[in-house]
Amino acid sequence: MAARWSSENVVVEFRDAQATAMSVDCLGSHAVLSGRRFLYMVNLEAPSEPPRKIGRQSKWDVGTVQWNPHKSESHVFAASSNQRVDLYSWRGGCGEVHTSLQGHTRVISDLDWSWFEPEFLVTSSVDTYIYIWDTRDTRKPTVALSAVAGASQVKWNKKNPNLLASSHDGDVRIWDRRKPNTAAEYLAAHLSKIHGLDWHPDNEFVLATSSQDNSVRFWDYRQPRKYLNILPCQVPVWKARYTPFSNGLVTVMVPQLRRENSLLLWSTLDLNSPVHAFVGHDDVVLEFRWRPQKEGSKDYQLVTWSRDQTLRIWRVDPQLQRLCVSDVVEDQMEDMSLTVESEKSLSSQEPESQHSVAAAAGNLQDSGGSLGSGARQDSVLGSGLPQTLQQEFSLVNLQIRNVNVEMDAVNCSCVVSAHFGSHQVHLVVKFPAQYPNNAAPTFQFVSPTTIPSAMRTKIQKILTDTSLQKVKRNQNCLEPCVRQLVSCLESDMTQEDGPPSGPFVLSNPVTPALQAFPRVTNTYGSYQDANIPFPRTSGARFCGTGCLMYFTRPITMHRSAPPTEPTPRSLSALSAYHSGVLTPMKMRSESQSTLRLYSGSPTRSDKDTVSISSFYYKERKSRRFKTKREGADYGNRPIKLAGKVIIQEISCLLAVHKALGESYILNVNDIQDTCQQNAASALAVGRRDVAKVWALASAATNQDLSPDSDPDTETPWARHPFGRHLLETLLDHYSRMSDVQTLAMLCSVFRTQAPPPDCYSLYGHQPSRSTMSPPQHSRYPSYTSGSLTSGSCSSTSDSITTTTWNPGRDSDHVNPWGESSPDDGRYGNPGYTDPREREREQHDMNKRLLDPANTLQFDDFKKCYGEILYRWGLREKRADVLKFASCPPEPHKGIEFGLYCCHCRSQARGTQCAVCKRLTFQCAICHVAVRGSSNFCLSCGHGGHTSHMMDWFRQQDECPTGCGCHCLLQSTF
């Protein structure tokens, strides 16, 4: 560590200040120290002068204080005090509060002035809101960002006036103030609470976070899943902020034993060791700020305030500043061994891109850091190229099994040694001076390389090609080349050795195999993921038919957070509750200062595995119980983390009853009796309403009301207000109650009642459906059974099908169907050949109490009830109910003949043409339209009535039309 001890600093003690926060104004002339009773104004030009004071009346400490960073408003500073922000103005040696911002409902955790608009201030609070204030209108915030989780830090982006970052436990959210509803991006940044957040001074996309989890991480928020780089520390990091000069970073640690209260200066290019330590403070450093550079001076000054009540001013001269720039890397390059390098790469997954960020930032700084250069910087960042060979060496990621790379930056060369099975490869790579600017390195195999020369040549060519490709674009090529080499060797060796042995035999002990990154890093218990929802610890589920199963958090486990605070939404919140019995509640009861400072930063070891139970505070059972029961044994018993699962019988809440399911009957032969018995059953379980319904059902199914088959005699009972209408009203009522039991039973009973009590008709064809929807079975009238195998084709007309399907149908139904094609309905032809038939059909519809239009819905009721009966184990009852469900026959699957109407030549399906309404084809023999069963020749397409065809081909083998087709030979009839 190239630590140089800064000799020159200013130390001023303010014994009585008890200040918790400090800020330096943008002119560099004043620092404000905020104590509970006074704000002290320190003149930085003459710090030892007694400070001027501004009195304040508050029982709260000042949380954060910050000067307005704009020269025009340099007399204004903001100080947060509990839920309020006071805006002070400091003019002519005296200051006063000129306005206050009130809006937060809980303590304000951080505030930040905008870098672009002098009037804008952002505040974050534990109350989960982030408010952006326009100080010209202090009544309410102009923008409110709802984060749901309380924020600990909030910072404006230094390059983009609309962007903000806030930290919430271990997460960082990036906000665009124009879209206040949700965060623009989430970073699951840390395992534990984030204490500090700082945007890169020159790069719009990069920020640094410091956390309780002993690390500083660097992020490009466009890649929220991976950090750019990590600075691992031994202790929690309180703050990490970029320096105003390039590539520097200052950190303040939370010391373990309050011994090393130093500030460390790092180069972001090399995070292995700090470049400088500012040693001097005797207690925790509470705040540090950079004093703006004086004109003409190259020095920067760091102003620090510590709990030891001293203000120190440290000079950072150009020499020290330069330590943060890249030549440091060169200095340290030689003694940096490869092992160190690989360890570092292991911990940082994206060293290359991090580097480029830093390098780009360096560039930018040199060029003056104007806004316009942001784009260029971005492009540099995108290409991700280290500038020099040294940098490439230091950042190259070569975690490859069985491969070792020795890099020699001074001689611009490196040796790649690899072991594959029995083969060894040693390759010297020499880099030209201009590398990587369109100058490719050379590759040379040296002894003891054991691979055959043919392969050497081949590999050499591949490597040269690869490197040329890269350097053409001024990109460096070491890593791609080495990977190329490995894949070449791998494929060749696999061929050579045969598949079983494989290239990566770990036989060679010379180079320990480095494990590649495992896909699933062992992060169980780390809960770093911010997008994984916080686990449920209670739940309730309805199970089976009448059970409610629920589990809750055990009574002994209390929320660590007060109940007013919502349960966190993300699992990453757990990291804040790392070790069991936790502090938030206690901390709140303590003074404000302790809450703000180092809140959640107790230096405990985080060795315990994290579990969801860590979130809850386990209460030891109180003594009262201890004495009452089990005595001393009680205290030793481990506290149960899992609660009990309780199963409740809640069937009384449901509208369906198992008892009714058991006792309900469905007797087709005596509907009256069925209704009466069911009414009694309903009464027995206390469903008086259902009992009445059964009484009504009994009345409605009375034989006296059964419809006459002749439509002319009287209006059927179904048309009466107490007929179908009553039933519909009942069904509607029980639908609202979700009483599927009553619904299904009613549907079943009235289903039996509607048509003449004929068992078959329940399953068979329901004539009524044909008008509402085409009859299923007649959809494909030319259904041919086995036509595929026989090769013959027989068409069956509808009258036959209908009768086949309805063997037990009443005679008065058969006749009309035999006369008219059911396709009438399908093709929208209302023209019944016989008006009497239509009337009869209408009558058939009308006399039903259940509206046939809803048959399918009624079936669904029955199916649903059947399912419930099944769960109850009442399978016979289920069968009883499902008997009444209509079962549409299987749809036709197979070959269907397309027909051209013999009259109008339009394409038709079935026996009647949809266009001309005439029967589509004539028998080749009798020249009469075919309606019934027909056969056709597959070859010539002629055919006719099956009986005629049978007769004809008994003697003949040519087509009856005389077309010359040998139908019997062409297609077997």
Partner 1 sequence: MVSVINTVDTSHEDMIHDAQMDYYGTRLATCSSDRTVKIFDVRNGGQILVADLRGHEGPVWQVAWAHPMFGNILASCSYDRKVIVWKEENGAWDKMYEYTGHESSVNSVCWGPYEFGLILACGSSDGAISLLTFTGDQQWDVKKISNAHTIGCNAVSWAPAVVPGSLIDQPSGQKPNYVKRFVSGGCDNLVKLWKEEDGQWKEDQKLEAHSDWVRDVGWAPSIGLPTSTIASCSQDGRVFIWTCDDPAGNTWTTKLLHKFNDVVWHVSWSITGNILAVSGGDNKVTLWKESMDGQWACISDVSKGQGAVSTITDTQQNEQRRSQCQTRSNYRKQTEEEKSEAGDFNFYLNHFQ
Place of tokens 């491969």: 403
As measured in angstroms, the least distance from the Cβ of 677 to partner 1 is: 23
Distance CA 299, CA 302 (A): 10
The CB-of-746 to partner 1 minimum distance in angstroms stands at: 12
Count other C-beta atoms under 10 Å from residue 125's C-beta: 26
| Closest distance to partner 1 from the beta carbon of 497 (Å) | 30
Q: Which stretch binds partner 1 (CB under 8 A): 427-435, 524-532, 802-810, 836-844?
A: 524-532
- Within 706-745, the residues that bind partner 1 by CB under 8 A are 733, 735-740, 743
Stretch that binds partner 1, among 278-286, 422-430, 562-570, 791-799 (CB under 8 A): 562-570
> Residue 418 or 743: which CB sits closer to partner 1?
743
In sequence order, which ranges of 324-477 are alpha helices (DSSP H)? 327-333, 338-347, 351-366, 374-383, 389-395, 453-472
- Closest separation between CB of residue 541 and partner 1, Å? 4
Q: Would you give the binding string for partner 1 spanning residues 871-910, x where CB under 8 A is met?
A: x-x--------------xxxx-------------------
**Nearest-approach distance from CB 845 to partner 1, in angstroms:** 16
* 749: DSSP letter: H
Q: What type of residue sits at position 297?
A: S
| Smallest separation (angstroms) from partner 1 to the CB of 103 | 19
Angstrom distance (rounded) from CA 224 to CA 531: 11
Q: Measured from the CB atom, is 571 or 671 closer to partner 1?
A: 571
Q: Which residues does 912 contact at the CB level (< 8 Å), separation at least 6? A: 821, 823, 824, 827, 829, 918, 919, 920
Shortest Å, Cβ 857 to partner 1:
4
CA gap 815, 513 in Å, rounded = 90
Distance CA 296, CA 454 (A): 66
What would the x/- binding string for partner 1 be over residues 172 to 211, using CB under 8 A? Answer: ---------xx---x-------------------------
Which of 561, 560, 532 shows the shortest CA–CA distance to 150?
561
Measured CA to CA in angstroms, residue 469 lies from 427, 431, 462, 481, 789 at distances of 20, 15, 11, 11, 66
User: Which residue's CB is nearer to partner 1, number 541 or number 927?
Assistant: 541
Q: Using H for helix, E for strand and C for coil, what is the string for 315-348? A: EECHHHHHHCCCHHHHHHHCCCCHHHHHHHHHHC
What separation in angstroms does the CA of 847 have from each of 613, 705, 718, 834? 67, 10, 5, 20
Tell me the C-alpha distance between 175 and 90, whole Å.
32
What is the closest distance, in whole angstroms, from the C-beta atom of residue 519 to partner 1 in the complex? Answer: 9
Task: Rank residues 184 and 338 by Cβ distance to partner 1 and give the closer one.
Answer: 184
Q: Which is nearer to partner 1, 131 or 858 (CB)?
A: 858
Question: Please, which residue, 127 or 198, has the CB nearer to partner 1?
Answer: 127
Question: Three-state SS for 395?
Answer: helix
Eight-state DSSP code of residue 419: E
**Nearer of residues 48 and 804 to partner 1, judged by Cβ:** 804
Shortest CB 146 distance to partner 1, Å = 8
Q: Is 322 in the site for partner 1 (CB under 8 A)?
A: no
Give the residue with the Cβ less far from partner 1, 344 or 769.
769
Interface with partner 1 in residues 744-803 (CB under 8 A):
769, 773-777, 779
90 versus 175: smaller Cβ distance to partner 1: 175
Q: Site mask, partner 1, residues 253-292, x = CB under 8 A?
A: ----------------------------------------
CA–CA dist 564, 552 (Å, integer): 19
List the interface residues with partner 1, window 596-615 (CB under 8 A). 611-613
DSSP 717: G
Report whether 216 contacts 231 (CB < 8 A): yes
Rounded Cα distance, 146 and 182, in Å: 7
Show the 3-state SS of 81-98: ECCEEEEEEEECCEEEEE
Structural contact between residues 205 and 222, judged by C-beta atoms closer than 8 angstroms: yes
**Shortest CB 721 distance to partner 1, Å:** 22
Instruction: Write out the binding residues for partner 1, residues 625-684 only, by CB under 8 A.
Output: 625, 641-650, 652-656
Helix (H) or strand (E) holding 798: helix 798-805
Nearer to partner 1, 2 or 646 (CB): 646
Return the amino acid letter for 913. Answer: C
Distance CA 852, CA 224 (A): 60
Output 544 or 757, the one with its CB closest to partner 1: 544
Say how many residues touch partner 1, by CB under 8 A: 92
Residues 530-559 that bind partner 1 (CB under 8 A): 531-555, 557
In whole angstroms, what is the distance from residue 858 CA to residue 766 CA? 15
CB of 8 to partner 1, least distance (A): 51
**Tokens 């979700």 sit at which residue?**
738
Nearer to partner 1, 563 or 808 (CB): 563
Q: Give 47 or 774: the residue with its C-beta nearer to partner 1.
A: 774
Token pair of 234 as six digits:
């031994």
Nearest Cα to 208, choosing from 257, 261, 165, 168? Answer: 165
Rounded CA gap, 696 and 746, in Å?
A: 11
CB 897 within 8 A of CB 782: yes
Place of tokens 């198992």: 658
Footprint of partner 1 on 819-858 (CB under 8 A): 854, 856-858
Write out the binding residues for partner 1, residues 32-71 only, by CB under 8 A: none
Smallest distance, partner 1 to C-beta of residue 650, A: 5
Query: Which among 225, 158, 247, 252 has a CA at the least distance from the CA of 198?
Result: 158
CB of 735 to partner 1, least distance (A): 6
Residue 893 beta carbon to partner 1: minimum distance, rounded to whole angstroms: 10
Q: Which is nearer to partner 1, 150 or 441 (CB)?
A: 150
Contact characters 136-165, partner 1, x per CB under 8 A: ----------x-x-----------------
SS3 140: coil
Q: CB 634 → partner 1: shortest distance, Å?
A: 11
Residues 6 or more apart in contact with residue 523 via CB below 8 angstroms: 529
Among 529, 606, 728, 837, binds partner 1 (CB under 8 A): 529
- Options 487, 567, 709, 842; binder of partner 1; rule CB under 8 A: 567
Minimum CB separation from partner 1 for residue 863, in Å? 7
Q: Residue 189 or 208: which CB sits closer to partner 1? A: 189
Q: Give ∠ CA 593-597-603 in degrees, rounded to 5.
A: 125
Give the per-residue contact string, 466-505, with partner 1 (x = CB under 8 A; - = no): ----------------------------------------
C-beta atoms surrounding 140 within 10 Å? 12
Q: Which is nearer to partner 1, 506 or 650 (CB)?
A: 650
Q: Give 26 or 685: the residue with its C-beta nearer to partner 1.
A: 685
Nearer to partner 1 (CB atom), residue 674 or residue 766: 766
Q: How far is the CB of 822 from partner 1 (least distance, A)?
A: 12
Tell me how far, at minimum, the Cβ of 749 lies from partner 1, in Å. Answer: 16
* Nearest in space to 157 (alpha carbons), one of 129, 122, 186, 128: 122
